[in-house]
């Protein structure tokens, strides 16, 4: 990562570095970030399409969650409830996902039937232990590349911010 040791003060010198050159450099760095994000999102897509050859159940939940943005968000909402040791109401599901009550009820009933979520006595829901295990498997697959990507992303972002601050202070 060439940006870690970048001496920013050499990029914009007091001797009159042109603002157009600095803008071009920032555009180039932002383009690198855009490429990184596009690659990362492609990797997320691939991870969501992963087939679990050793587990039909993991494949089923993965296919369902990956079939729409709303289902994916619903699954994340229930996993968060599990980790926060709380239950999510149907009202919260409709509000957070911006969907109708019947749509939320359909997802809840389906997931209860598949045992992907659990429900408390007042109707609140959270991910089941199985769903949390499936989500953890997905995260492990995705995290194989996360550290390097995030480190470079952070480095590029800091570089851009530092250049912008130097130009602003001139």
23-44 pLDDT, tens digit per residue, is: 787 788 878 877 877 877 777 6
Looking at residue 19, its pLDDT comes to 66
Question: How far apart, in whole angstroms, are the C-alpha atoms of residue 117 and residue 82?
Answer: 9
DSSP run (H or E) holding 57 = helix 56-66
Segment 63-83 shows an average pLDDT of 92
pLDDT surpassing 50 at residue 14: no
Q: Which of 74, 71, 66 shows the shortest CA–CA distance to 142?
A: 66
User: Using alpha carbons only, what angle is made at residue 149 by residues 144 and 155, rounded to the nearest 5 degrees?
Assistant: 150
Q: What percent of the chain is modeled with pLDDT above 90?
A: 37
Question: How far apart, in whole angstroms, are the C-alpha atoms of residue 93 and residue 107?
Answer: 10
Model confidence, pTM: 0.65
pLDDT surpassing 90 at residue 127: yes
Domain 19-169 has CATH 1.10.10.10: yes
| In the block, residue with structure tokens 């994000």 | 37
């Amino acid at each position: 990562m060439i940006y870690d040791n970048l001496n920013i003060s050499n990029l914009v010198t007091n001797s009159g570095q042109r603002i157009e050159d600095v803008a071009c450099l920032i555009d180039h760095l932002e383009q690198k970030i855009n490429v990184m994000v596009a690659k990362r999102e492609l990797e997320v897509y691939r991870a969501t399409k992963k087939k679990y050859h050793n587990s039909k159940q993991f494949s089923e939940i993965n296919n369902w969650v990956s079939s729409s943005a709303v289902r994916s968000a619903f699954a994340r909402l229930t996993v968060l409830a599990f980790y926060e040791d709380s239950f999510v109401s149907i009202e919260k599901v409709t509000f957070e996902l911006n969907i109708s009550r019947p749509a939320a009820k359909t997802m809840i009933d389906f997931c209860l039937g598949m045992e992907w979520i659990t429900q408390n006595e007042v109707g609140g829901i959270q991910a089941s232990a199985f769903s949390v295990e499936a989500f953890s498997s997905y995260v492990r697959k995705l995290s194989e590349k996360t550290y390097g990507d995030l480190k470079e992303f952070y480095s590029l972002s800091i570089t851009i911010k530092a250049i912008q601050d130097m130009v602003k202070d001139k």
